[in-house]
């Protein structure tokens, strides 16, 4: 059974979708490539939402507070084998760092698949947790993002601010 809940975040409402296998979706308001909301299942609120999505909610709050650099959540995004390969590789991009589409294609052993990697990245159903925002253009530009380039910039800036070493007194 699939359920969902909506939470507030610094980048607006986030819709968390999940089933017994784990988180299957994390979508932002006006998220490009989001599936029809009718596929999200039954809405959960209050204690029911906390019981189903408590770990995801807590970890997202810690992430936005700059206290979490990795997510430890079971997730099961639906996609083709190629898409799942790309999404798995995204999870290996360290917090606070970026990678180009070409570098990501090389990491999965298919350096000619830059365009396909970009398409798979754009179809990532579990934004933030599977950090597709860390992929940028070869020239360093912030290319498209399912949640919008402004949100991508916010997430990258959040991670940069959290990784700046403290100055000694």
What's the confidence (pLDDT) of residue 164? Answer: 54
What's the confidence (pLDDT) of residue 158? Answer: 95
d(CA 34, CA 30): 8
**What is 114-139 written as a DSSP string?**
HHHHHHHHHT-SBTTTS-GGGEE-TT
Q: Which residue stretches of the chain have pLDDT < 50?
A: none
What's the confidence (pLDDT) of residue 148? Answer: 86
Strands 42-43 and 3-7 come out as parallel
pLDDT digit string (tens) for 107-128?
999 999 999 999 999 999 999 9
What's the confidence (pLDDT) of residue 20? Answer: 79
What's the confidence (pLDDT) of residue 42? Answer: 92
- Known active-site residue 132: yes
What's the confidence (pLDDT) of residue 132? Answer: 94
What's the confidence (pLDDT) of residue 70? Answer: 94
- Active-site position among 49, 93, 132, 156: 132
Structure-token match 């090389």, residue found:
106
């Amino acid at each position: 059974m699939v359920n969902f809940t909506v939470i507030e975040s610094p980048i607006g409402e986030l819709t968390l979708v999940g089933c017994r296998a784990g988180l299957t979706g994390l979508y932002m308001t006006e998220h490009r490539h989001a599936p029809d909301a009718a596929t999200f299942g039954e809405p959960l609120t209050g204690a029911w939402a906390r019981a189903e999505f408590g770990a995801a909610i807590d970890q997202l709050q810690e992430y936005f507070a700059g206290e979490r650099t990795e997510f430890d959540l079971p997730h099961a995004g639906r996609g083709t084998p190629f898409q799942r390969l790309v999404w798995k590789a995204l999870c290996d991009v360290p917090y606070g760092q970026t990678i180009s589409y070409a570098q990501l294609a090389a990491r999965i052993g298919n350096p000619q698949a830059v365009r396909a990697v970009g398409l798979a990245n754009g179809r990532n159903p579990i934004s933030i947790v599977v950090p597709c925002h860390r992929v940028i253009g070869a020239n360093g530009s912030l290319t498209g993002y399912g949640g919008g380039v402004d949100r991508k910039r916010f997430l990258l800036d959040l991670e940069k601010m959290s990784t700046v070493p403290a100055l000694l007194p």
